[in-house]
Amino acid sequence: MSSYLFLIPVSLALSLLGLFAFLWSLRHDQYDDLDGAAERMLFADDRPIVDDQALSEPASGKTEQDT
């Protein structure tokens, strides 16, 4: 029974802390643009993985050791 006297205020304090964090996130526009990050990832202007020099060299199949 004495543990209830400790656990109930702790659980109330944690729930109020969670409610405060949620209300703070609502007031500071944390939920306004949920799809923006996903769309920016899809349409980002990234550099290609293969460099341009490797594409411009002819593909003869010979290496430097073969010559």
Per-residue pLDDT tens digits for 6-36: 999 999 999 999 999 999 999 998 888 878 8
Confidence at residue 11, expressed as pLDDT on a 0 to 100 scale = 97
What average pLDDT score do residues 27-51 get? 77
Confidence at residue 64, expressed as pLDDT on a 0 to 100 scale = 59
What number of CA atoms fall less than 13 Å from residue 46's CA on the CB side? 8
Domain regions of the chain by residue span? 1-31
Residue 16's φ and ψ, nearest 5 degrees, are: -65, -35
Task: With CA atoms as reference, report the closest residue to 20 among 31, 9, 12, 10.
Answer: 12
Distance spanning both ends of the chain, measured CA to CA: 88
pLDDT of 51-61, one tens digit each? 666 666 666 65
Question: 31 and 25 in contact (C-beta within 8 Å)?
Answer: yes
